[in-house]
Amino acid sequence: MRNNRVVLVTGASGFVGRHLVEYLAEREYNVIASSRSFFKFRHPNITNVQLPDLTSDFDWRSLLYQCDTVVHLAGLAHRFASDDLYDLINVQAVASLTQAAKDCGTRQLVYVSSIAAQSGSYSDVNLTEADAPRPTNAYGRSKLAAENIVRAADIPFTILRPVVMYGLEDKGNFALMRKCARLPIPLPFGSLKAPRSVLSISNFSSAVDFVLKDVRSIGETFIVSDPSAVSVAEMIAECRTALGKRPHLIQIPEKWIETILKFFGQEGMWQRIGCRLLAPPHKLLQRGWTPERNSFLIQEN
């Protein structure tokens, strides 16, 4: 049966947005792909729309009248920016969107937040949706503030808190890790065995599809991650194995790596690679979500 639901996806030209738009279109959603940076999707179920910069005042209603549901991805993420800029793009733009969604009778707003709204780069305990949020940076605080606006807006909503994502054309730490894995030398990361929750882009997209179809997701907040956590050592070893190489990871004391990184002002990097962060998707799994990918695989890239 054809899915006639029309979904507006904001931030469609980004890494996450491009994958999500095409995933939904393949599953017979009619997708309005909107973004500030124009990206031409060619699937017949996708309509391309260019948005103005979210720092400017924008009337969402012309788009919202064309759709049933919204998946809001657009925002400022993980850049060196002032609190004011985070507030303008990640908070005030969401306030404008939610008010317009209320005016237009939007059927569901899926707000894509971040695990950063709940925690810093590491946690000594397993994170759950029931934990009190404790963001540690301006980005996380802005995402939490936007969550609170969504909850207070008197509209049908679902909030997703994904952990860090990987997949085709990913960037940041995952891209750097893949480059390291390709080097023809031993790597000194064999002792980095702290478990970290990660999320494949295909699993994220399937989670969005799931909450769009499950009416029980209305009014709920979900952590989204792969069911299996991995360590940096395991990720690099898997990358090298997929490339037909031996893992060849040298065991250097973690304390040495921590000390070197902190000496060069990279304490945040140490927290992301040497400390644990477990945010299992138990709540989403209990609702019936079936992940498509369960582990870090270089074949994603």
- Burial zone of 299 (CB within 10 Å; 0-12 exposed, 13-18 middle, 19+ buried): exposed
Q: Which residues of 42-60 are buried (b: 16+ CB within 10 A; e: fewer)?
A: eeebbbbbebeebeeebeb
Residues 11 and 128 in one domain: yes
* From 39-43, 202-206, 250-254, the region with the lowest mean pLDDT: 39-43
Mean confidence (pLDDT) of the chain: 89
Could you tell me the residue range of the domain that residue 235 belongs to? 172-194+230-274
Residues 13 and 112 in one domain: yes
Q: In the prediction, which pLDDT does 4 show?
A: 64
Domain membership of residue 23 (yes or no) is yes
Question: pLDDT digits over 87-122, tens only?
Answer: 999 999 999 999 999 999 999 999 999 999 999 999
The pair of structure tokens assigned to 184 is: 């023809």
Residues 62 and 155 in one domain: yes
The pair of structure tokens assigned to 188 is: 């000194």
Q: Residue 298 pLDDT more than 50? A: no
Q: Report the CATH number that the domain containing residue 48 is assigned in CATH.
A: 3.40.50.720
Domain membership of residue 109 (yes or no) is yes
Domain membership of residue 236 (yes or no) is yes
Domain membership of residue 103 (yes or no) is yes
Residues 215 and 270 in one domain: no
Question: pLDDT digits over 170-188, tens only?
Answer: 777 777 888 888 888 888 8
- Give the count of domains, the chain: 2
The confidence band for 293, taking pLDDT boundaries of 50, 70 and 90, is low
Domain membership of residue 299 (yes or no) is no
Question: pLDDT digits over 18-64, tens only?
Answer: 999 999 999 999 999 998 877 788 899 999 998 888 888 888 999 99
Domain membership of residue 116 (yes or no) is yes
Residues 131 and 57 in one domain: yes
Residues 153 and 62 in one domain: yes
Domain membership of residue 221 (yes or no) is yes
Residues 159 and 269 in one domain: no
Residues 217 and 268 in one domain: no
Q: Tell me the mean pLDDT in the region 194-215.
A: 95
Residues 103 and 243 in one domain: no
Residues 179 and 100 in one domain: no
Residues 90 and 176 in one domain: no
The confidence band for 267, taking pLDDT boundaries of 50, 70 and 90, is confident
The confidence band for 2, taking pLDDT boundaries of 50, 70 and 90, is very low
Indicate the length of the chain as a whole number: 301
Residues 179 and 81 in one domain: no
- Burial zone of 130 (CB within 10 Å; 0-12 exposed, 13-18 middle, 19+ buried): exposed
- The values of phi and psi at residue 30, to 5°, are -90, 120
Domain membership of residue 300 (yes or no) is no
